[in-house]
Amino acid sequence: MAYCRWLSARLAGSLGPGQVVRLPLEWEWQLAATAGDPSRDYPWGAWDARMANTVENRLGRTVTVGLYPSATWGDGAGPLDMAGNVWEWCCNLYHEPRKRVTAGDKDAPRVLRGGSWGYDRHGCRGASRFGNGPGPRDYGAGFRLLLASPISESLLTETLVSGE
């Protein structure tokens, strides 16, 4: 989150008014991973070990993003590597998914999604979630950034406050 704040400030002259760089909310992450289709277990559909860096592939480490270019939805039009490789941080609290992480949630577990190279295919499904505190470094975790518009930020705030 500190990196997102730094990057937003660094890019302030290039971003539109009110735009910010941030971590996705858990539901935003899942929509991106499955193209909004709840019947998809993986971005590409049914399990295929050739599509993700999971324990089944026995690589035993992270790999460069894009090594699995077909592992997305819509003829390669979707985001890459949303299953396997690294768990991705979201900006929700793990035990209270409707609550966005704030500075006061210093040690509270956050949501991670997507599985990693050290997990099997079940841990890498679009619906799989994991929780971990922000303190220790984890070589199986990373992050994905999103550029949020002022409209999406105001809707996000309204939704989280109203609980819809």
- Residue 154 neighbours by CB distance under 10 Å: 12
Q: What is the pLDDT of residue 43?
A: 92
Token readout for 35 is: 């193209």
> Is residue 7 within 8 Å of 14, Cβ to Cβ?
no
> Is residue 101 within 8 Å of 133, Cβ to Cβ?
no
> Is residue 83 within 8 Å of 68, Cβ to Cβ?
no
> Which residues, in sequence order, are CB contacts of 70 under 8 Å at separation 6+?
44, 51, 76
Query: Considering only CA atoms, which of 22, 27, 31 is closest in space to residue 3?
Result: 22
In order of their start, the domains of the chain are: 24-144 (3.90.1580.10)
pTM of structure: 0.86
Q: How far is CA 121 from CA 46, 52, 83, 144, in A?
A: 11, 9, 8, 20
Q: What is the pLDDT of residue 158?
A: 46
- Residue 138 neighbours by CB distance under 10 Å: 15
**What is the chain's pLDDT, residue by residue, as a tens digit (164 residues)?**
889 989 999 999 999 888 889 999 999 999 999 988 988 999 999 999 999 999 999 999 999 988 988 888 877 678 888 999 999 999 999 999 889 888 788 889 999 999 999 999 999 999 999 999 987 778 889 999 999 877 665 555 444 444 44
Rounded Cα–Cα distance for residues 151 and 146 (Å): 14
> Which residues, in sequence order, are CB contacts of 28 under 8 Å at separation 6+?
90, 146
- Residue 136 neighbours by CB distance under 10 Å: 7
Q: What is the pLDDT of residue 149?
A: 79
Query: Considering only CA atoms, which of 23, 22, 140 is closest in space to residue 90?
Result: 23
> Is residue 128 within 8 Å of 122, Cβ to Cβ?
yes
